[in-house]
Amino acid sequence: VFLGEFIDRVRQKKSDITVLDLGCGKGGDLLKWKKGRIKKLVCTDIADISVQQCKHRYEEMKSRCRYNEHIFDAEFIQADSTKDLLSSKYNDPDMRFDICSCQFVYHYSFETYEQADMMLKNACGNLSPGGYFIGTTPNSFELVKRLEASETNSFGNDVYNVKFEKKGDYPLFGCKYDFHLEEVVDVPEFLVYFPLLEEMAKKHGMKLVYKMTFREFYEEKIKNDEHKMLLRRMQALEPYSTHGDSRLVSDKPDDYEHAKEFIKDGKAKLPLGTLSKSEWEATS
């Protein structure tokens, strides 16, 4: 949703939009860029196998296009954006981007100041005047809050687990924690102190224009009927019914108390789209 919104902002000023996908992974946002009708995309990731899979998905998408259907040109680069200067690897070193998208990747750079600054340089250094750096990163304030409320050095539930080396000492760089998500993710990550990130970005000519937690973002966007329909099409929520005919992700009864209360108040049609309490805690 927000990628589309910023594409629309740029399109009010120009029609040919160039994007840098910093930490592209396997190309999960390729379809979004196609729908956004951008002109050029540069995809980069530290993992060569991910870059190759991203390139393969792009080639497949391109081959399925009809004769007169538009699809952006693309360039694929394997690099460590916390240590390598990306501009030296572009086909055109002077290329300028209108948008840099960095989704759930930037926090890996906060191992050291040098790495965090290099990642910012790669994200912002080749932006056109008025360009946008759009990032998503874990909320360090929420992580520390949950850690301090825990009796141990870890917290979580059946869906996710976060483990720190110790409590009470949170350096600005190199504050490592281990994040585990339902056998999907199991990697060390680093806290990002957002006021520091904002100050570092100013050095690269950036100013903050938009900042929200996931909860705030969801509560704002769900008011839009089009966004509600998008949730249904994506099957992002599981159907919950009081009749016992729903196949639920969680088998813990109290994981759906919020849904029961909502239905009891007569506010919803059945089945009700929801997340389990454990899933919501993991996302927020």
- What's the per-residue H, E or C state across 190-225? ECCCHHHHHHHHHHCCCCCCCCCCHHHHHHHHCCCH
Residue 46 or residue 230, greater confidence = 46
Q: Are 178 and 96 in contact (CB under 8 A)?
A: no
With cut-offs at 50, 70 and 90, classify the pLDDT of residue 36: very high
pLDDT exceeds 80 at position 148:
yes
Q: Which phi-psi region, left, alpha or beta, contains residue 50 (left: φ > 0; alpha: ψ -120 to 50)?
A: alpha
Which distant-in-sequence residues (6+ apart) come within 8 Å of 185 by Cβ? Answer: 179
pTM of the model: 0.83
Angle at 158 between CA 141 and CA 162, to 5 degrees: 35
Residue 247 in tokens: 């196949």
Task: Please count the CA atoms within 13 angstroms of the CA of 131 that sit on its side-chain side.
Answer: 22
Residue 150 or residue 232, greater confidence = 150
pLDDT exceeds 70 at position 267:
no
Domain boundaries, the chain: 2-137+192-211, 142-181, 236-283
Please provide the average confidence, as pLDDT, over all residues in the chain: 87
In CATH, which superfamily holds the domain spanning 2-137+192-211? Answer: Vaccinia Virus protein VP39 (3.40.50.150)
pLDDT exceeds 80 at position 90:
yes
Average pLDDT over residues 219-242: 66
pLDDT at 284: 65
14 vs 173: CA distance, rounded Å? 38
pLDDT exceeds 70 at position 109:
yes
pLDDT at 274: 66
Average pLDDT over residues 262-268: 63
pLDDT at 276: 64
pLDDT exceeds 90 at position 108:
yes
Look at the block and give the residue holding tokens 């190759």. Answer: 52
CA dihedral 137, 163, 193, 150 (to 10 degrees): 110
pLDDT at 159: 85
Q: Are 87 and 20 in contact (CB under 8 A)?
A: no
Helix (H, G, I), strand (E, B) or coil at 176: strand
pLDDT at 193: 97
Cβ atoms within 10 A of the Cβ of 111, count? 17
Per residue in 152-180, pLDDT tens?
999 998 889 999 999 999 999 999 999 99
Q: Are 174 and 107 in contact (CB under 8 A)?
A: no
206 vs 213: CA distance, rounded Å? 20
pLDDT at 265: 66
pLDDT at 248: 63
